[in-house]
Structure 1
Amino acid sequence: MGRVILHCDMNSFFASVELLSHPELRSEPVAVCGDPESRHGIVLAKNEAAKRFGIVTAETIWQARKKCPSLVLLPPHLPLYREYSRKINAIYDQYTDLVEPFSVDESWLDITGSLHLLGGDARAVADEIRGRVKRELGLTLSVGVSFNKVFAKLGSDYKKPDATTVISEDNWRGIVWPLPVGDLLFVGKAARATLAQFGVRTIGQLAAMDPDQLETLMGKAGRQLYEYANGLECEPVRARGDVEPPKSIGCGSTFQKDLTGREEVRAAVRLLADDVASRLRRCGRYAGGVAVTLRTPDFQDRSRQRRFSSPTHLMQELAEQASALLDTFWKPPSPIRMLTVTAIALTDGDEAYEQTDLLDSAASRRERQERLESAVDRLRGKYGMGAVRFGASAPGKKEDSLL
């Protein structure tokens, strides 16, 4: 018997959790949104009633209300979503020890080794999990059942809400190949545009392409997508404690007012770099480079990245490099609505510090900065993240990413 992989995807997760406290709104169009007053007015999640009006995640509130004037807006409660995510994954853990979260509301389960203990019918196991989550937590999910992770995820997306879809070694071509190529994992907007130039609009058309041509067009990602489209993906489901270390760590902030001055922008960069560096040190990683992204008031994004001569996990060095990078593509007083600083090319630190002369002033400064930031980490560990901050801060709400 081949592998048996489930992909469990909660239906309208944030909105569904909120509606547990607002049962009177279940039949109404509801969206969970950021705070418009602090300029976080975008849709984070929506229920099925709102979806019927064409409301989509990440659109602005004013766009959503043009589609649905009666839309009910609810504020997000992220700690509550994390708590429900833990409860959901605790149910998954009772079926296998190979549970790999993909996001706060999605997980892969490899039940190959435990299926014989669960009755031998993968669809029945998926239905049982859906039933338990509904009974015990009042939430619904869709489950894809397949022989690899990519097709299992396609299955969970295939029919919603509250459904099980089996994509087997016998039926996968009939189900998968007619789907839009954008439904395939990691085929984003840029990849769709590239493939469309060659008339590729379905997964089946992608599967029929020459893999060497795809690699020429898109690099290693092209060959990977060819394998995905042809059912050749075989990545293992990792146990929760065995998840790969992050490939990047970023922190962004949407500001309550546009930033236009060099000093206030540098203050914002320091604030973001401080959070990124602190998280790098907590997970024992070093940045081999930095990426900076800015968003203008008309929602245009601009981004640049650069590599370092030697990796670092120090706020001072990240901030200096990020500010210098930003200066290459932004000039005051051009307004900035949002700013993100991301540590990239992460390493475990074995090569973090190149050999330097003991009398080298730069090495001495770096050692002092190490001691300073280590001391700050200890204070934050005792009194909380907000106990100590480097320099001034710009008004805004930070948005972290760990990829």
Structure 2
Amino acid sequence: MDRVIFHCDLNSFYASVELLSHPELRHLPVAVCGDPASRHGIILAKNEPAKVFQVKTAETIWQAKKKCPDLVLLPAHHGLYRDLSRKVNSLYEEYTDLVEPFGIDESWLDVTGTLHLFGGDPRALADRLRDEMRRRFGLTISVGASFNKVFAKLGSDYKKPDATTVITRENFRKIVWPLPVTDLLYVGRAAARTFQKFGIRTIGDLAAFDREQLFVLLGKNGAQLHDFASGEDRSPVAPAGQYTPPKSIGNGYTFPNDLQGREEIRAGIAQLADQVAVRLRRHSMKCQGVSLAIRDPNFRDISRQTRLDPPTDLARELAQAAAELADSCWNMASPVRALTVTAIYLISTEEAGAQLDLFSAGQDAKRQRLERLENTLDLIRAKYGPGAIAPASAPRDPAQERHAPPPGGGK
């Protein structure tokens, strides 16, 4: 049996909340901005009359006023928005315990197990939610109902404001596939540029494209986006506060210039291993294996993995293991376009501690010193930013530092 997933999107949320206190402005173009007294503020939200003038979120007040000289500007009240957002999600929880907030003004609801309690008709329940939202809070929502999260979100975007769109297995090709591919969840700028090069303009074009080729072009993200376009999203609705430990933690990077030689390749690996180690510690996890993926300038990929004993969250151990994988599978005279280092076979820090060899006390003391050192580095980054400190051999990120370019970047 198919799931029944709703995506509920509060229409023009910030502006709608402000207009609850200013009902006399409802028929006028209104925008909420960071600092109405400053010409340097930006637009945070706008109402429907303002959209008629093509006022856009994130543009400057000056740009918006140029389009709409009579635009009414209201200051933001973020505490009020957060409070109402919590109340709205409490309303959703009256219909299902599976509610996943997506930002402050959107939520997914899995009503598969409770739909029969409310009549069994997805469209009727969505309309009931919309009516209840207007009655309790004076706000409107657009609701998408579908058999997966991605299509439910497309449904809530399909018709606004205050509307219900139902996307089924029978009609999704008619509704979803003609939409621009950039409407699909998680299609970012880089993926959009790649799609444009290969003539992928609609979600239907993406679904028709060869999945294996997408994997070659964009890695796991390409295959996942193909699944999304084909209606194969199976991700669960995860209630807020419900923590699902990651199965793997990886970082990849396409370098501005190809890495050349063993020294530059190892430096790139060290940078990525350091980032992966930070994320492992943030999740209180250690890995029992590491995977390395290497891509050459012709987009050919090679991937290798190895087991680690004992489990680790130390950057230097991840980097050493990944570097040994590179030595074993890659001709160091060949250029490298991109690298990905992934921690695999993850277990909790507590479980890893229980696995330590009771007879390696001296080695364990050394590891504890290294762990304290890397935890100290985490504190420095938390206070001064991610670029404050890094392995000496690591390529420098121009967005975080003002000095040396990445390997190959200064040639």
Give the superposed CA RMSD. 3.8
Give the equivalent residue in structure 1 for 2:195. Answer: 195
Deviations 1:108-132 (A, max 9, x none): 1111111111101110000000000
Structural mapping, 1:177-326, within 5 Å = 177-244=177-244, 308-309=315-316
Distance 1:359 1:109 in 2: 49
Q: Runs of 5+ in structure 2 lacking a partner? A: 250-277, 288-313, 319-341, 357-361, 385-411
Partners of 1:32 and 1:76 within 8 A in 2: yes
Partner AA of 1:137 in structure 2 = F
Gaps of 5+ in 1: 249-276, 289-306, 312-343, 374-388, 391-403
- Does residue 11 of structure 1 match 2:3? no
Q: Which residue of the partner structure matches residue 33 of structure 1?
A: 33
Matched, 1:128 2:151: no
Q: Secondary structure at the match of 2:70?
A: coil
Structure 2 length normalisation: TM-score? 0.63
C-alpha change, 1:236 and 1:68, in structure 2 (3 Å) is same
Quick one: distance in 2 between partners of 1:361 and 1:105? 44
Aligned equivalents of 2:179 and 2:37: distance in 1? Answer: 40
Q: Which amino acid aligns with 2:105?
A: D
Describe the superposition over 1:172-208 as per-residue Cα deviations: whole angstroms up to 9, x where unpaired. 1000000000110011222111101111110011110
The Cα shift of 1:241 comes to 2.9
Once residues 99 and 176 of structure 1 are traced to their aligned partners in structure 2, the CA distance between those partners, rounded to angstroms, is 24
Conserved 8 A contact 2:36-2:74: no
C-alpha distance in structure 1 between counterparts of 2:116 and 2:234, whole Å = 22
SS in 2 for 1:142: strand
Secondary structure of 2:143's match?
A: strand
Q: Residue by residue, what CA displacement relative to the aligned partner does 1:232-286 show, whole Å, maximum 9, x if unpaired?
A: 11111112232547999xxxxxxxxxxxxxxxxxxxxxxxxxxxx9xx99x8658
Paired AA for residue 22 in structure 1: H
Give the deviation of 1:65 after TM superposition. Answer: 1.3
Q: Residue in 2 aligned with 1:333?
A: none
Verify: 1:70 aligned to 2:70, yes or no: yes
> What residue is the counterpart of 2:154 in the other structure?
154
Alpha-carbon deviations, 1:50-93, whole Å to 9, x = none?
11111111111111111111111111111111100011111100
Q: Return closer, same or farther for 1:364/1:232 CA change in 2, 3 Å cut-off.
A: closer
Letter in 1 for 2:201: R
CA contact (8 A) 1:100 1:243 kept: no
Other-structure match for 1:304: none
TM-score (norm 1): 0.64
2:159 matches 1:166? no
* Partners of 1:10 and 1:141 within 8 A in 2: yes
Contact 1:34 1:40 in 2 (8 A): no
The residue matched to 1:240 in structure 2 has which SS? coil
Query: Residue 241 of structure 2 aligns to a residue in which SS?
Result: helix
CA 1:155 to 1:360, structure 2 compared with 1: closer, same or farther past 3 Å? Answer: closer
Q: Is the 8 A contact 1:284 1:348 kept in 2?
A: no
Q: CA 1:69–1:358 in 2, change beyond 3 Å: closer, same or farther? A: same
Say whether the 8 Å CA contact 2:39–2:60 is kept in structure 1: no
- Alignment CA distance shift 1:121-1:363 (3 Å): closer
Percent of matched pairs sharing the same residue? 60
1:147-184 deviations in Å (ceiling 9; x for gaps)? 00000000000000000000011111000000000110
Matches within 5 A, 1:303-382: 308-309=315-316, 350=349, 366=373
